[in-house]
């Protein structure tokens, strides 16, 4: 096997991992902080790119387009939040409903085409695959790192405020939060909006990076996000206690995920089987805490079989 | 003042599991009342407290706290008036958050949560002093996660949280039932100290008749979703477990059906 081919692919894997790391931070906010598994992200991971690319193709400034992409992600989160809190739909189903409606919405945004290209020579893209091996300021790895640092800084500040603490409390103990006067429904909606705006930001950057937006680019995003969260817990869980470090760990988790994927592809796995592999890996890691509890309870002689 | 008028609540209506939990409950509390609540299983004690707190909507009746009709307010909007401690020590605190963060959340009960700092330096100093009064050593573990505390420590902390911002009414829902006898005793004494010092209007549900007699200035007994016995002042001080049992039998025509109450 050609080892230099693998090395050559590494900068691309790192850049992609960092961009998906932004997305994984969005997943962390719903899955870990709010304790909701939000499947909206499979849709909003295409919405952000669709909005950003279409606006830019129509002559809108890149930063304004990026902002609009984030607002679109917020609306997606709002819809899921309303499905869940105002209509009593379980969060997973609420997310699936939004995700499905986003498929149509994303197509509508993209003039009913399955994909739309945007050329880096004609448009001022923030990150581009073309520069992934250049040593200049336009290297997407550098840009993605800067955006991540800014994002983690803002989130670290926000979750330390009264409002951010209320969100964390809602995820930690809903009954207690309501008893302390927190409107837990509003907290959940706000959390979903923040999360999906971050996912949409990642989506917009990913479409810049690859030079096109595709209506299917978000498929399985939740699994990649969860993989990043789980990888970071397994590797950095004991090391990173501080909230900002945990978010950093999640971004690193996504980078590790993409490096592993790159290695597996290099070893000769059919690209079409990647999603199967990702799903199985995430399933195994999600199962570990259950197995741990199950077996430790049995060894402790407490008959843990039934209630592990 | 607290006024409960003709409160009605039926769980699982029109099913085989239909249960009339509150059946035209009336109760009036004066500002200084510390009322202990006893009754058999399913008498409606916890249901009454949950109705006041707004955990679910009531079917009928009205709940007025200090002139404010809260009957139809959502739970989080009643919270500014209420301090609550629950039977399960897990319920009253956020396990994955620090001790000081939990207190800071409680200090903002009823306030709009803004983008200001979630906890300030001045607050930390205040909480340290407050925790020191518990005598549990928690003042030196302020950044420890609450999940690391014992049940008794968590209930003591929940008590502090419930009264950090003085509530109009304190609801104690069998808050020592999950604790061992010695810890339960300590938490009860702490509860009484806090209630007396802050002159709090209090409803305390307990399964322990001796505690119901020992604490508070007034005792009510519930059965089938109604108050069947209401004893206050000098008469309460002369109560014994035996004549409470007799009174229960006279008022309800049934044996007192609560093994825990009889055994403890």
For A171-207, the pLDDT digits (tens) are: 999 999 999 999 999 999 999 999 999 999 999 999 9
Residue in chain B closest to A183 (alpha carbons) equals B76
- CATH for A28: 1.10.3470
Residue B257: the pLDDT is 58
The residue count of chain B comes to: 264
Question: What residue numbers bound the domain in which A293 lies?
Answer: 273-308
Q: Per residue in A157-195, is it b (16+ CB within 10 Å) or e — as a string?
A: ebbbbbbbbbbbbbbbbbbbbbbbbbbbbbbbbbbbbbb
Per CB-CB distance under 8 Å, the chain A contacts of B80 are 181
Residue pair A201/A70 in contact (Cβ under 8 Å)? The answer is: yes
Place of tokens 């890996």: A281
Q: Is residue B201 part of a domain?
A: yes
Residue with the bigger pLDDT between B238 and B260: it is B238
Whether residues A131 and A279 fall in one domain? no
Whether residues A21 and A158 fall in one domain? yes
This complex has an ipTM of 0.92
Distance CA A147, CA A194 (A): 16
Per mean pLDDT, which range of B11-15, B153-157, B242-246 is the poorest?
A: B242-246
Among chain A, residues having any CB pair with chain B shorter than 8 Å are: 158, 160-166, 168-169, 172-173, 175-184
Whether residues A278 and A262 fall in one domain? no
Distance CA B233, CA A135 (A): 85
Q: Name the residue among B156, B148, B169 with its Cα closest to residue B4.
A: B169
For chain A, the domain total comes to 2
Q: Do B106 and A158 touch (CB under 8 A)?
A: no
Extended beta strands in chain A, E state: 115-117, 212-214
Q: Is the confidence at residue B170, as pLDDT, over 50? A: yes
Q: Do A184 and B76 touch (CB under 8 A)?
A: yes
Q: Do B95 and A160 touch (CB under 8 A)?
A: no
Mean pLDDT of B32-45: 93
Question: What residue numbers bound the domain in which B51 lies?
Answer: 2-96+149-263
Nearest-CB residue to A172 (from B92, B94, B161) = B94
- CATH for B44: 3.40.50.300
Q: Can you tell me whether residue B11 is helix, strand or coil?
A: strand
Greatest mean pLDDT among A192-196, B42-46, B244-248: A192-196
Q: Is the confidence at residue B250, as pLDDT, over 90? A: no
For A64-102, the pLDDT digits (tens) are: 999 999 999 999 999 999 999 999 999 999 999 999 999
Q: Do A178 and B76 touch (CB under 8 A)?
A: yes
For B203-214, the pLDDT digits (tens) are: 999 989 999 999
Whether residues A137 and A219 fall in one domain? yes
Q: Per residue in A109-129, is it b (16+ CB within 10 Å) or e — as a string?
A: bbeeeebbebebeebebbbbb
Q: Is residue B160 part of a domain?
A: yes
Whether residues A51 and A116 fall in one domain? yes
Q: Do A180 and B109 touch (CB under 8 A)?
A: yes
d(CA B106, nearest CA chain A) in Å: 6
Q: Is residue B241 part of a domain?
A: yes
Residue pair B256/B248 in contact (Cβ under 8 Å)? The answer is: yes
Rg (CA), chain B: 19
pTM (two decimals): 0.93
Per mean pLDDT, which range of A125-139, A163-177, A226-240, A281-295 is the poorest?
A: A281-295
For A215-246, the pLDDT digits (tens) are: 999 999 999 999 999 999 989 998 999 999 99
Whether residues A191 and A299 fall in one domain? no
For chain B, the domain total comes to 1
Task: Report the run of H or E that residue B65 belongs to, with start and end.
Answer: strand B60-65
Q: Can you tell me whether residue B218 is helix, strand or coil?
A: strand
For B84-112, the pLDDT digits (tens) are: 999 999 999 999 999 999 999 999 999 99
Q: Is residue B242 part of a domain?
A: yes
Q: Do A176 and B91 touch (CB under 8 A)?
A: yes
């Amino acid at each position: 096997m050609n080892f230099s081919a693998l090395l050559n692919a590494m900068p691309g894997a790192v850049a992609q991992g960092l961009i998906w790391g932004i997305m994984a931070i969005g997943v962390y906010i719903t899955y870990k902080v709010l304790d909701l598994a939000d499947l909206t992200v499979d849709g909003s991971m295409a919405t952000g790119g669709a909005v950003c690319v279409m606006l830019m193709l129509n002559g809108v400034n890149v930063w304004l387009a990026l902002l609009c992409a984030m607002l679109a992600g917020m609306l997606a989160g709002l819809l899921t939040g309303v499905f869940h809190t105002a209509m009593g739909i379980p969060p997973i189903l609420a997310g699936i409903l939004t995700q499905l409606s986003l498929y149509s919405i994303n197509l509508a945004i993209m003039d009913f085409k399955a994909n739309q290209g945007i050329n880096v020579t004609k448009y001022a893209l923030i990150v581009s695959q073309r520069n992934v091996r250049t040593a200049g300021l336009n290297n997407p790895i550098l840009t993605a790192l800067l955006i991540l640092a800014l994002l983690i800084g803002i989130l670290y500040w926000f979750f330390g405020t009264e409002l951010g603490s209320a969100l964390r409390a809602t995820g930690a103990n809903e009954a207690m939060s309501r008893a302390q006067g927190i409107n837990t429904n509003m907290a959940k909606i706000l959390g979903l909006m923040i999360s999906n705006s971050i996912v949409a930001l990642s989506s917009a950057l990913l479409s810049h990076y690859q030079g096109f937006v595709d209506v299917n680019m978000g498929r399985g995003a939740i699994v990649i996000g969860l993989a990043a969260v789980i990888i970071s817990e397994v590797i950095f869980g004991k090391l990173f206690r501080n909230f900002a470090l945990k978010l950093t760990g999640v971004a690193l988790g996504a980078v590790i995920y993409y490096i592993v994927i790159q290695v597996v592809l290099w070893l000769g796995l059919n690209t079409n089987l990647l999603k199967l592999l990702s799903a199985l890996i995430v399933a195994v890691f999600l199962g570990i805490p259950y197995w741990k509890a199950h077996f430790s309870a049995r060894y402790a002689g407490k008959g843990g079989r039934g209630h592990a | 003042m607290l006024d409960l008028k003709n409160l009605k609540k039926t769980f699982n209506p029109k099913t085989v599991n239909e249960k009339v939990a509150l059946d035209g409950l009336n109760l009036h509390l004066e500002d200084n009342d510390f009322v202990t609540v006893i009754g058999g299983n399913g008498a409606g004690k916890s249901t009454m407290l949950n109705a006041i707190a707004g955990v679910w909507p009531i079917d009928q009746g009205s709940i007025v706290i200090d002139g404010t009709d809260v009957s139809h307010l959502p739970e989080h909007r009643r919270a500014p008036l209420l301090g609550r401690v629950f039977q399960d020590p897990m319920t009253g605190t956020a396990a994955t958050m620090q001790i000081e963060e939990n207190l800071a959340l409680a200090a903002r009960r009823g306030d709009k949560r803004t983008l200001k700092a979630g906890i300030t330096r001045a607050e930390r100093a205040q909480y340290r002093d407050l925790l020191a009064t518990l005598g549990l050593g928690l003042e030196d573990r302020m950044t420890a996660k609450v999940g690391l505390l014992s049940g008794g420590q968590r209930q003591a902390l929940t008590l502090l949280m419930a009264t950090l911002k003085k509530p109009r009414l304190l609801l104690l829902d069998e808050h020592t039932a999950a604790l061992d006898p010695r810890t339960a005793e300590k938490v009860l004494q702490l509860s009484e100290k806090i209630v007396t010092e802050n002159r709090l209007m209090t409803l305390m549900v307990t399964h322990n008749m001796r505690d119901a007699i020992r604490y508070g200035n007034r005792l009510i007994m519930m059965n089938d979703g109604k108050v069947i016995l209401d004893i206050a002042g000098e008469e309460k001080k002369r109560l014994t477990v035996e004549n409470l049992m007799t009174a229960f039998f006279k008022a309800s025509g049934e044996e007192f059906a609560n093994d825990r109450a009889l055994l403890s």
